[in-house]
């Protein structure tokens, strides 16, 4: 274990050079989350180990650069404008038309992602988004000085796609069905693998084209795709790392294959695209987040009997905590993981309804918060 800030390439290089004095050298540095894509690949390049090039890292971390690269390659993604001030925001709303989605251009976890259906909501949304960055920006080492205003893809149908990348090619490993919170936020409530849309040709081709458009040439990428009211798929964003939120564990259970082995193997230079393309799911696995009703949590009743499909439960809230409406990753009170021996042929609400039933039993609420 090296003692260094994983977000800081210079600190990592210092720690690695100290190890080199003892004859220990890394073969490759593999990023597992958004906050380390830049630093890991800067270290890889500095040490001559390969890794993603700097432009690709920018394409994957800066949502504005990403949109430009996707559009330039003809990949379907909502039109957007980069804004800083209220004046620029209103001009963007004028140009794009309502509703719009406002988001920081370099954050994640749905933090500060807000829907606006009026000019007033847009102004309030920008202020809210700036507030989220003021709270979390420093801890995550992000600038948050600019915001993206996007045309909205208007439905609640969304998937994320795990794609294994190679030089100029990419292959879909798994499609995950995503469950979203009520609007105006887009918090993730649950993820289920495999989505009933697995194998859909248009979806597969769009996800693979998005990765090659950004120049991602190794490792797993996590592509988020939302369907318009007419069913057409639109790329929301692409991350040059495996999915978070426990999705990799669900992929492993559904496919009996460890996706990190593909990610790391690919960074080490092995071509595993055929392995990804040939993977077949044999069961269904899901993760769903526990959400207490808004208000003060008086008591937490652990030890309730669980339905047979619930394989793990993890409660993070304690008595005295205040629960807020589902807004982003920070407003969760716990999680469950579920497993079924069958594959679902259509979208099932079971992850969300099971989590809701359990949360209602577990969290004893006091008076409602404002
Ligand atoms: N243009 C859009 N139209 C419709 N919905 C959108 C749009 N942009 C974002 N969303 C919704 O908001 C969610 C979060 O947006 P986005 O992925 O850009 O932010 P993020 O903070 O990187 O999210 P996360 O880390 O949770 O994936 C999306 O998954 C989607 O549900
Ligand atoms: Mg996202």
Stretch (H or E) spanning 327 = none
Pocket test for ligand 1, best of 64, 178, 236 (most atoms within 8 A of CB): 236
Q: pLDDT value at position 334? A: 96
Rounded-to-10 torsion of CA 149, 154, 158, 162: -40
Q: In this structure, what are the phi and psi dihedrals at residue 194, rounded to the nearest 5 degrees? A: -85, 145
CA of 222 relative to ligand 2 center, distance in Å: 9
Q: Over range 190-208, report the average pLDDT.
A: 98
User: Residue with the nearest Cα to atom 31 of ligand 1?
Assistant: 186
Which residue would you say has higher pLDDT here, 111 or 46?
46
User: Residue with the nearest Cα to atom 13 of ligand 1?
Assistant: 186
Residue 213 burial (C-beta neighbours within 10 Å; 0-12, 13-18, 19+):
buried
Q: Which two tokens stand for residue 304?
A: 């309730």
Percent of the residues in the chain that have a pLDDT greater than 90, as a whole number: 85
- State whether residue 231 is helix, strand or coil: coil
Q: Give tens-digit pLDDT for 11-44.
A: 999 999 999 999 999 999 999 999 999 999 999 9
CA of 48 relative to ligand 2 center, distance in Å: 31
Between the alpha carbon of residue 267 and those of residues 49, 63, 112, 228, 294, the distances in Å are: 10, 24, 32, 34, 43
141 and 7 in contact (C-beta within 8 Å)? Answer: yes
Q: Domains in the chain, ordered, with CATH? A: 79-151 (3.30.1490.20), 158-280 (3.30.470.20), 286-365 (no CATH)
Q: pLDDT value at position 311? A: 96
Q: Give tens-digit pLDDT for 219-249.
A: 999 999 999 999 999 999 999 999 999 999 9
Q: pLDDT value at position 111? A: 81
- Residue 51 contacts by C-beta under 8 Å, 6 or more apart in sequence? 28, 29, 40, 41, 43, 44, 45, 218, 267
Rounded-to-10 torsion of CA 107, 111, 112, 113: 90
pLDDT at 329 over 90: no
pTM (predicted TM-score): 0.94
The C-alpha atoms of residue 204 and residue 209 are separated, in whole angstroms, by 9
Q: pLDDT value at position 370? A: 46
Pocket test for ligand 1, best of 115, 181, 185, 186 (most atoms within 8 A of CB): 186
User: Residue with the nearest Cα to atom 22 of ligand 1?
Assistant: 108
CA of 44 relative to ligand 1 center, distance in Å: 30
- Residue 42 contacts by C-beta under 8 Å, 6 or more apart in sequence? 9, 54, 57
What confidence category does residue 368 fall into, taking pLDDT thresholds of 50, 70 and 90?
low
Between the alpha carbon of residue 65 and those of residues 79, 142, 147, 217, 251, the distances in Å are: 13, 15, 12, 17, 29
């Amino acid at each position: 274990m090296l003692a260094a800030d994983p977000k800081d390439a210079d600190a990592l290089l210092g720690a690695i050079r100290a190890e080199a004095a003892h004859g220990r050298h890394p073969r490759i540095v593999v990023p597992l989350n958004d906050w380390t894509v830049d630093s890991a690949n800067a270290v890889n390049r500095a040490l001559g180990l390969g890794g993603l090039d700097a432009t690709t890292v920018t394409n994957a971390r800066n949502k504005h650069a990403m949109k430009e690269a996707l559009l330039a390659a003809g990949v379907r993604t909502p039109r957007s404008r980069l804004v800083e001030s209220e004046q620029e925001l209103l001009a963007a709303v004028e140009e794009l038309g309502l509703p719009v989605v406002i988001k920081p251009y370099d954050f994640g976890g749905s933090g500060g992602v807000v829907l606006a259906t009026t000019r007033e909501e847009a102004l309030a949304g920008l202020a809210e988004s700036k507030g989220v960055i003021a709270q979390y920006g420093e801890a995550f080492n992000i600038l948050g000085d600019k915001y993206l205003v996007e045309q909205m893809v208007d439905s609640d149908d969304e998937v994320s796609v795990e794609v294994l990348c190679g030089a100029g090619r990419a292959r879909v490993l798994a499609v995950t069905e995503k469950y979203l919170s009520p609007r105006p936020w887009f918090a993730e409530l649950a993820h289920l693998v495999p989505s009933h849309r697995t194998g859909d040709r248009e979806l597969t081709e769009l996800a693979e084209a998005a990765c090659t458009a950004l120049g991602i040439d190794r490792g797993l990428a996590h592509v988020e795709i939302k369907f318009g009211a007419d069913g057409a798929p639109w790329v929301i964003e692409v991350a040059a790392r495996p999915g978070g939120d426990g999705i990799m564990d669900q992929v492993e259970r559904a496919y009996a294959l460890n996706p990190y082995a593909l990610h790391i193997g690919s960074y080490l230079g092995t071509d595993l695209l055929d392995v990804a393309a040939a993977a077949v799911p044999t069961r269904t696995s899901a993760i769903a987040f526990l959400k207490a009703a808004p208000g003060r949590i008086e008591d937490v009743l652990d030890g309730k009997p669980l339905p047979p499909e619930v394989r793990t439960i993890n409660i993070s809230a304690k008595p005295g905590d205040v629960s807020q409406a589902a807004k982003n990753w920070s407003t969760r009170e716990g999680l469950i993981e579920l497993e079924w021996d069958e594959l679902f042929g259509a979208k099932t609400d079971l992850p969300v309804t099971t989590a809701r039933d359990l949360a209602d039993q577990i969290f004893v609420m006091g008076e409602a918060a404002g």
